Structure 1
Amino acid sequence: YKAIYAEKMGAEFPQDPKVQLMEAVKAVFRSWDNPRAIVYRRMNDIPGDWGTAVNVQSMVFGNMGNTSGTGVAFTRNPSTGEKGIFGEYLINAQGEDVVAGIRTPQPITKLAEDLPKCYEQFMDIANRLEDHYRDMQDMEFTIQEGKLFFLQTRNGKRTAQAAIQIACDLVDEGRITPEEAVLRIEAKSLDQLLHPTFDAEQLKKGEKIGQALPASPGAAAGKVYFTAEDAKNAHEQDGEKVILVRLETSPEDIEGMHAAEGILTVRGGMTSHAAVVARGMGTCCVSGCGEISIDEDAKVFSLGGYTFHEGDEISLDGGTGFIYKGMIQTKEATVSGNFGRIMNWADGFRRLRIRTNADTPADTANAVRLGAEGIGLCRTEHMFFEPNRIPKIRKMILSDTLEQREQALQELLPFQKSDFKAMYEALKGRPMTVRYLDPPLHEFVPTDPADMEALAKDMGMTVEQVKQKCDDLHEFNPMMGHRGCRLAVTYPEIARMQTRAVMEAAIEVSREKGFSIEPEIMIPLVGDKKELKFVKDIVVEEAETVKKERNSNIIYHIGTMIEIPRAALMAGEIAEEAEFFSFGTNDLTQMTFGFSRDDAGKFLYSYYQAKIYESDPFARLDQNGVGQLIRIAAEQGKKTRPNIKMGICGEHGGDPSSIAFCHDAGLTYVSCSPFRVPIARLAAAQAALNSKK
């Protein structure tokens, strides 16, 4: 190590203890800005200007023989939440030996055999610390020649499953209130509970090839990769499900660990780096599998009589520590038990309503099961991409005359209507906001020669004519081109068809099932009051026609998406025509920043390194810029229409910090993907409790 220091620094390692101490202090301060710290802060919403701190304390030594040792312990199990001491220690060792996974340690209970007096004293202090802090403690200790030293204690990192168990147990023990319990669970961590687990029947058929320590629960199946960089690239560039297999992990591996479905290590215990980081991320981890023979350079490992190369498939069970050959099928998670209990408490505290973004009956049913109170965004264009529908939308797009377009739309009407009916049935009377056709038309046209030929034959055109029409639809900047309400201005018949589908579906389901349904029709990409009124008049005319035909007095609402900066600034006028606003924060962010959300990833990392931005504005709402526009629109909209309903339906609808902003801005609801509904429910409750405090 001294030789490495001399080579890198161009000077000998200092021998003056004071110099050593100050250099060590400065090294800790410098670590705040190393690449892995920046990644960690971005993952956990920690501001870069906070800085870090340094504690200086006298040294004690656990490597002074068999009456010395070191360990890490928790007052409750950080994986399951089970009450009782949980930890590991090593005789004749320093702390780094335990946390780095260099040696596989002994369970803390063995300390009772090795050094019974120290164990008794340790348990007494551990219990006092938990009583004082009223939370599960993560403690580090050293024993030097028979004398016990506590080095630190802190509230322990835990899995979502453990967080829920501990919070409910502490309420039952009378130590904390339900409000405190709700505030103690990190909303993002619920993601761990909402993803699939192994299907029990498939698991029985799985071939078990090894077992090690169940370091972080969950089920993971994927392709084996041996370096953090390879794992990250396989996941981001190729969309692979990845299992990161390492001798041991280190902080440099954080991006690969983040990209992985699961982590498998040869060395290390339940408190090693891999285990602690994986638990914090909610990533499945099996550690300390000493049976593995691994060659990281050759990218190969052997276990259970099999040899695995990069790209081969394995499965990990983080709850049991079992390792399986091949991919094992998974099943959906459920909201029940203590999870349901926390959700019920959260629902009692929050003000924001929670809806979901869903385009299919299956997504709708799943979101309702997870607690969604309706649909905040139904993207109707997603209903057109199925193989039996895409030719019909293409016929409509490539039609030369109004008559041809209307004929093609008539063929689409039954499909659109049947989807709406199925979704209204799944909602059982809960509201649904239907966004009319939004994307540029070129997204629907064929690019494959065989598809062009089939379309030409169906429309009585030549392939050259079809190709020419497809070329004519090409736009230089399609995201800011002929899309959204602009399609309805040019082709009113599209809005008419969609209105008929929505209204007929709502009327039929309300009569057949007895549900009270009030359709919410959302006109996208509006930038001006007159633009909205033009499309709204078409919608109202068709809706009233359907009501008359069906002898119905059904109530419906027409609103708009605020996703253009001009719309936010003109919201007071637009609210004269719109009964509700839904902030499309994906496009609003894109247009406010001038970033393409499809391409920003290519340069944002440089911005993080340069400390220009600390987080991805498409994942975490930019509260200073985009948020300012939302506040302006909300205030102006309420002035014009005091009872206006407002929500957001971009990706930010499932991000806890963005949800807290929506609460403060006075929005009515947030809408997010089905699996993020419980996260949003908890985050909304925390926002309400924090603002009350």
Structure 2
Amino acid sequence: MLYRQQYGIPVEWGTAVTVQAMVFGNAGDDSATGVAFTRDPANGEKVFYGEYLVNAQGEDVVAGVRTPKAMAEMAKELPTSFKQLEKVRSKLEKHFRDMQDFEFTIEHGRLFILQTRNGKRTGLAAVRIAVEMQKERLMSQETALLKIPAESIDSLLVPVFDPKALKAAPVIGKGLPAGPGGATGRIAFTAAAAELETRKGNKVVLCRTETSPDDLKGMLHSQGILTSRGGVSSHAALVARQLGKVCICGAGDISINYERKTLTAGKFVLNEGDYISIDGSTGLIYKGMIESADSEVTRVIDGKLKASKSYTYQLFQTVMKWADKHRTMNIRTNADTPAMAQRAVAFGAEGIGLCRTEHMFFDGDRIDYMRQMILAVDEVQRRSALKKLLPFQRKDFVGLFKAMQGRPVTIRLLDPPLHEFLPHDDTVRRQLAQKLNVPLDFVIERIKALHEENPMLGCRGCRLGILYPEITEMQTRAIFEAAAQVLKGKKGIKVKPEIMIPLVGFRQELADQLNIVHRVAKEVMTKRKIKINYLVGTMIEVPRAAITADEIAHEADFFSFGTNDLTQTALGLSRDDMGLFYEAYQQKEIYNKNPFASLDQTGVGKLIELAVERGRSTKPNLKLGICGEHAGDPSSIDFCHRAGLDYVSCSPPRVPIARLAAAQAKLLN
């Protein structure tokens, strides 16, 4: 069940069974059995990869009971059979036009191919195999793009061990590299222990003698997997490659005692909970925690490594160029700082689809001014505090506009309820009272007055701007003053501000806030004697907005689907509290996927499709995007393409994944 859920296999498909004649690899020293890959499934290199055992059956190889021999040794031990397998290897790739994972048995010198399938591979291997097979004309560019799971691009961007820290770390053992990358975490000997540690916020390395399907949950929770038995085609290796996990198998120098909860490697004895580090690219095992370093791709982007020195970066760039050639949706990013924006642009972002302005208020002294504004008893006091916040907001937006170099920047006005900015700790409350020169009791009473039973559905989003229009005025003024400053600066950088009003459910709500935005924009442009082109739109994040999208579209220049809140309001589900029953829902297969990770296409998706249809019935050229967490999920991106959205906006590290997923969506639809 867990396997089906992990890979999105519907329960109604059932289970297939293959019946075939039996052959015997355990018939003597002229017999053998093995599992082979036409290319290295760990790094994608074009080498004959796999393992075998003489005088054994297939179960002996995959179960990890005996540590098998590498395929290269067969050239000497069983040379005739090895030559036959080399011919089979070439024939399989030419026929299936993909890397193959096949099982074979040799019975008294006669070779039998038992089965073949497209081989499971790591993210790096998937990219390398696709690029190189396209160069070899075994597959087209379009097929190559579809062969790469979009999520696998992430493995090219993940950190690896810092070289200096690696040299200083004590090596305690070595195994077979089965899943590349570096992983550090606390030792967990069981799936339950791994889950418990991750719930505490700790990283984990699952250490087992060998793994079985019962360990899948622990593997999902772990940064990496280490086994003392088994080879590169064992259960641990195969599942780790599927999950994109760091993995080392067949570490014979390692002894694991489940009863004592110890891992022994020579003179080193580690207990459950101690730190261990594994390098799935080299097979080396280290004691303790090792600092990680950026991936080669990241180092090239940051100018720390020449592109010509990194084959991995060249593979990455090839796939990204292909993806950009075929996709039709734009890819934006969710960024609140210039540094985040610059990193996203380096990864290929074409604009900012969501700047959360509330994050800017927590920096430095500005949180005190924000709290002063919230605690104000009248408009005069609020405007006084907002006047102090204006320079900070303006500076923030100047930084974003400069970083984006003329690309569109969608800025969401203040969204969360005000009480989220207020301190809950008595000591901090006392310090705030002293800073503002007000009695502590006054601070406590104001905090109580702002308390809401259900703040997620309370006074937030556009409701704040309607109740306190001076907040909308200050943020709008900061945006347009920043835009004017950048436009009229020495470099004259273009700006494309897009102002987004959150939590709109009624046309009148958006109209109310639009009046303020247009008025302030006109004031700034008149004063600065400058023309700034801008858009004003709204987030579609409550069901009513989707249902009445045709009305709201009269006021909006664009819609951006805030699918985090739209999922909560449509499903009547709190993402913070769903943990109480989520596991039971998964077991009963009510939820096949986490609805906050992958879009509920049959429910929330229907609301999006309705809003698209009705919004564009009013304005055929209405710009449409998505800025929730779903915008980085390949399955959800495919839905967005089919729904007719113009762009998706995800976190900076997910931008390359989104570029590939958008191309795949175009090719598949």
Calculate the TM-score normalised by the size of structure 1: 0.92
Q: Give yes or no for the alignment of 1:690 onto 2:653.
A: no
Alignment of 1:618-633 (within 5 A): 618-633=596-611
Counterparts of 2:258 and 2:281, CA distance in 1: 26
- SS at 1:434's partner residue? strand
Match of 1:356 among 328, 333, 336: 333
Check if 1:247 corresponds to 2:224.
no
The equivalent position to 1:195 in structure 2, one of 158, 162, 165, is: 158
In the alignment, the residues of structure 2 paired with residue 436 and residue 39 of structure 1 have an alpha-carbon distance, to the nearest angstrom, of 41
SS of the aligned residue for 1:652 comes to: helix
In the alignment, structure 1 residue 311 sits paired with structure 2 residue 278: no
> 1:424 — aligned with what?
401
Please tell me whether the aligned partners of residues 192 and 283 of structure 1 are also in contact (alpha carbons under 8 angstroms): no
Separation (CA, whole Å) in 2 of partners of 1:55 and 1:517: 62
Worse overlay, 331-340 or 672-681? 331-340
SS at 2:38 equivalent: strand
Partner of 2:367: 390
- Does the residue aligned with 2:264 lie in a helix, a strand or coil? strand
**Partner SS for 1:215:** strand
For 1:202 and 1:418, how far apart are their aligned partners in 2? 38
Q: Which of 50, 61, 65 pairs up with 2:28?
A: 65
* Whole-angstrom distance in 2 between the partners of 1:205 and 1:360: 35
Counterpart of 1:136 in structure 2 is 99
After superposition, the Cα gap between the structure-2 partners of 1:326 and 1:411, relative to the gap in structure 1 and judged at 3 Å, is farther
User: For residues 482-533 of structure 1, what are the alpha-carbon distances to aligned partners after superposition, in whole Å with 9 as ceiling and x for unaligned?
Assistant: 1110010111111111111211222222333332112100000000110101
Q: How does 1:319-338 map to 2 (within 5 A)?
A: 319-333=281-295, 334=297, 336-338=313-315
Q: Does 1:463 align with 2:425?
A: no
Distance 1:210 1:511, change over 3 A: farther
The equivalent residue for 2:310 is none
Question: Which of the numbers 586, 589, 594 marks the counterpart of 2:564?
Answer: 586
Q: Is the 8 A contact 2:486 2:494 kept in 1?
A: no
Matched residue type, 1:501: A
Alignment gaps of 5+ in structure 1: 1-37
Residue 222 of structure 2 aligns to which amino acid in structure 1?
A
Matched-pair contact (CA < 8 Å) for 2:256–2:262 = yes
- Hey, what does 1:92 align to over in structure 2? 55
C-alpha distance in 2, partners of 1:528/1:194?
A: 42
The answer for the alignment partner of 2:309 in structure 1 is none
- Determine what percentage of the aligned residue pairs are the same residue: 55
Q: Report the TM-score, using the length of structure 2 for normalisation.
A: 0.95
Q: Over residues 305-352 of structure 1, what are the superposed CA-to-partner deviations in whole Å (9 max), with x where a residue is unaligned?
A: 322222222222111112222222223332630111011001000011
In 2, distance between residues paired with 1:451 and 1:167? 56
2:60 maps to a residue whose letter is: D
Aligned match of 2:463: 486
Q: Say if 2:531 is the partner of 1:553.
A: yes
CA contact (8 A) 1:208 1:325 kept: yes
In the alignment, which residue of structure 2 is the partner of 1:291? 253
| Matching of residue 208 in structure 1 with residue 171 in structure 2 | yes
Cα deviation code 1:610-650 (max 9, x no counterpart): 22221111111111111111111111111111111101111
Structure 1 counterpart of 2:84: 121
Once the two structures are superposed, residues 365-422 of structure 1 have per-residue CA deviations (whole angstroms, 9 ceiling, x without a partner) of: 2111111111111111111223433222111111112121112222222222222222
Residue number in structure 1 paired with 2:307: none
Per the TM alignment, residue 605 of structure 1 is displaced from its structure 2 partner at its CA by 1.8
Amino acid at match of 2:407: R
Name the amino acid aligned to 2:414.
L
- Contact 2:407/2:496 (CA < 8 Å) preserved in 1? no
Aligned to 1:273: 235
Distance in structure 2 (CA, Å) of the matches to 1:114 and 1:627: 58
Match of 2:640 in 1: 662
Task: State the secondary structure of the residue aligned to 1:61.
Answer: coil
**Equivalent residue of 2:230, what SS?**
coil
Structure 1: distance between partners of 2:624 and 2:155? 30
Q: Counterparts of 1:410 and 1:63 in 2: how far apart (Å)?
A: 84
Alpha-carbon contact 1:191-1:282 (below 8 Å) kept: no
Aligned partners of 2:158, 2:184: CA distance in 1, in Å?
A: 12
Q: 1:526 aligns with which of 475, 484, 504?
A: 504
Q: Within 2, Cα distance between the matches of 1:187 and 1:240?
A: 27
Q: Structure 1, residues 669-691: CA drift from partner, whole Å, max 9, x if none? A: 01111111111111110110111
Q: Which SS does the other structure have where 1:670 is aligned?
A: strand
Q: CA deviation at 1:293?
A: 2.4
Q: Does 1:160 align with 2:138?
A: no
Q: State the AA in 1 paired with 2:434.
A: K
Cα distance, 1:135–1:570 mapped onto 2, change above 3 Å: same
Which residue in the other structure is 2:144 paired with?
A: 181
Q: Is the 8 A contact 2:127 2:153 kept in 1?
A: no
Shift of 1:199: 2.5
One-letter amino acid of the structure 1 residue matched with residue 202 of structure 2: E
User: Is 2:502 aligned against 1:508?
Assistant: no
1:474 aligned to 2:451? yes
Q: 1:505 to 1:203 in 2, by over 3 A?
A: farther
SS of the aligned residue for 1:519 comes to strand
1:304: Cα distance to partner? 5.1
Query: What is the CA distance between 1:40 and its match in structure 2?
Result: 2.2
For residue 617 of structure 1, what is the aligned residue in structure 2? 595
Write the letter of the residue equivalent to 2:452.
E
Q: Match for 1:85: what amino acid?
A: F
Equivalence for 1:15: none
1:681 to 635, 640, 659: 659
**Structure-2 separation of matches of 1:211 and 1:220:** 15
Aligned-pair distance for 1:166?
1.0
Query: Aligned AA for 2:528?
Result: R
Tell me if the contact between 1:48 and 1:614 (Cα under 8 Å) persists in the aligned partners: no
Distance 2:564 2:494 in 1: 31
SS state at 1:76 partner: coil
What is the CA RMSD across the aligned residues, in angstroms? 1.4
Bigger shift: 501-510 or 632-641? 501-510
What secondary structure is seen at the aligned counterpart in 2 of 1:527?
coil
Q: Secondary structure at the match of 1:84?
A: coil
Which residue does 1:572 correspond to in 2? 550
Q: Distance in 1 between matches of 2:426 and 2:14?
A: 57
Deviations 1:138-176 (A, max 9, x none): 001112232221110011011111111111111111221
Measure, in 1, the Cα distance between the counterparts of 2:603 and 2:256: 50
Question: Any stretches of 5+ residues in structure 2 without a counterpart?
Answer: 299-312
Match of 1:404 among 381, 388, 396: 381
Aligned AA for 1:320? T
Provide the rounded CA distance (Å) in 1 between the counterparts of 2:457 and 2:463. 10
Report the equivalent of 1:52.
15
Letter in 2 for 1:573: E
Distance in 2 separating the partners of 1:115 and 1:185: 35
Figure out how many residues of one structure are paired with residues of the other and give that number: 653
Q: C-alpha distance in 1, partners of 2:6/2:488? A: 48
Distance 1:510 1:212 in 2: 59
Question: Residues 189 and 281 of structure 1 are in contact (CA less than 8 Å); yes or no, is this contact kept in structure 2?
Answer: no
Residue of 20, 40, 52 corresponding to 2:3: 40
Cα displacement (A) at 1:193 = 1.7
Write the distance in 1 (CA, Å) between the matches of 2:267 and 2:518. 70
